[in-house]
Amino acid sequence: GFSFAGSQVPPSVRVLPFPLDLPLILKRALNYMQPDLYVGFEGEFWPNLFRLLAENGVPAVLLNGRLSSRSTRRCRLVQGLFQPVFTQFTWLAMHSWDDRRNIVQLGAPSGRTLVLGSSKYGGLLARAQPDRPGFWREILGIADDVPVVVGGSLRGGECTQLLEVFRDLMDQEPAVVGIFAPRHMHNISVMADWLKRHRLPFQMLSDMECGREKREQSVILVNRIGVLFELYSLGDLVFCGGSLEPIGGHNILEPAAWGKAVFYGPHIHRVLDEHKLLTSFEGSFLVENSRMLRDYWRQWVHHLPGLRIHGRRAKEALAGLSQIVDKQVDLIMNVLVERGVCSVMNHAKD
């Protein structure tokens, strides 16, 4: 995560590890950084940090705020610890009305608690650069007319379930290519063992990426991190993991940035709002189990132009989230203007 963060910002931006929530360490960190503003995300509430921020007169803003009903019940057990934290925020911009209700019940100031949605996905469309599909097709030797399956962020049993679905799909469409990326790299060996037992030849992405091999097999295992988002651009049939297993789902909007319809399982409590958004645009398909996924894909592999219509709708759904980033930037800049860090004119110009 630290390396990825450093790769996403210009050289002028310094990336530092977050300090432990211990007073002595935090004091040193704050003295070193001299922050004008602290911006937190989602559910990061550190009692010692926020006490010291308040003592040093540093305002705090929360973006993409989340607080599930389960977390709310837990926080009530130690409400005296967290209520002072919530009251020290200048603004709390929550992800949903449910999140707002939960945090206000725990003592967050109602007048400073907003619902702005999540900027987590605001930059996805900008990241979907049009040259990347061609780049990966050339590396992997996949022609434009070859159907491609992408299974991303696979967890637990999904790692072999998706391979089984793909094996059945190959019986119906022998030309199909499958790209499979486990969420955790240790599952690469699990998938490789399954493929060997079932006599399905495969190759590792890294071997083709470095030019050591050319693609000769139908199965590609993604054995490195940081490339899944771009690989989604190749998919005709796309599955997002952590959803057939009781994990709660992973980033189901990443494929939508490339105009891909998204398939996922029933365990989506972590991405429920994203699911509601995609389904409202008819840009996704929820499957109850791997058999249902297999049946869907057996039908759609022969009707890919129709599936691409749903993919365009998924991208339209994502496009509507871009305004959230602008609203959050305005919120931050207004705090900085009030603090005298920047002028109103500079704010308008930026």
For residue range 108-120, list pLDDT tens digits in order: 999 999 999 888 8
pLDDT score for 343: 58
pLDDT score for 347: 52
Alpha-carbon torsion, ordered 156, 161, 167, 168, to 10 deg = -170
Cα angle 216, 221, 223; round to 5: 125
Question: What number does CATH give the domain 2-122+322-349?
Answer: 3.40.50
At 345, the pLDDT band (50, 70, 90 cuts) reads very low
Res. 49: pLDDT tops 90: yes
For the chain, what is the mean pLDDT? 92
What gap in Å lies between CA 32 and CA 51, rounded to an integer?
Answer: 17
At 81, the pLDDT band (50, 70, 90 cuts) reads confident
pLDDT score for 180: 99
pLDDT score for 184: 97
Res. 256: pLDDT tops 60: yes
CA-to-CA separations, 185 to 37, 211, 222, 225, in angstroms, rounded = 37, 21, 9, 8
pLDDT score for 18: 87
At 7, the pLDDT band (50, 70, 90 cuts) reads confident
The pLDDT > 70 percentage for the chain reads: 97
At 78, the pLDDT band (50, 70, 90 cuts) reads confident
Res. 185: pLDDT tops 60: yes
* 345/77: higher pLDDT: 77
* 144/319: higher pLDDT: 144
Res. 348: pLDDT tops 70: no
Containing 115, the helix (H) or strand (E) segment is: strand 113-115
Mean local confidence (pLDDT), 327-347? 80
Containing 82, the helix (H) or strand (E) segment is: helix 79-87
Mean local confidence (pLDDT), 6-25? 86
Least confident of 133-137, 205-209, 298-302, 325-329: 325-329
Res. 186: pLDDT tops 90: yes
Tokens of 190: 């699990």
pLDDT score for 140: 98
Handedness of CA 293, 296, 302, 308 (dihedral sign): negative
233 and 124 Cβ atoms separated by less than 8 Å: no
Domain 130-319 has CATH 2.60.120.620: no
54 and 28 Cβ atoms separated by less than 8 Å: no
Least confident of 9-23, 156-170, 223-237: 9-23
Tokens of 260: 């891909």
Q: Where are the domains of the chain?
A: 2-122+322-349, 130-319
Same fold, 2-122+322-349 and 130-319: yes
At 165, the pLDDT band (50, 70, 90 cuts) reads very high
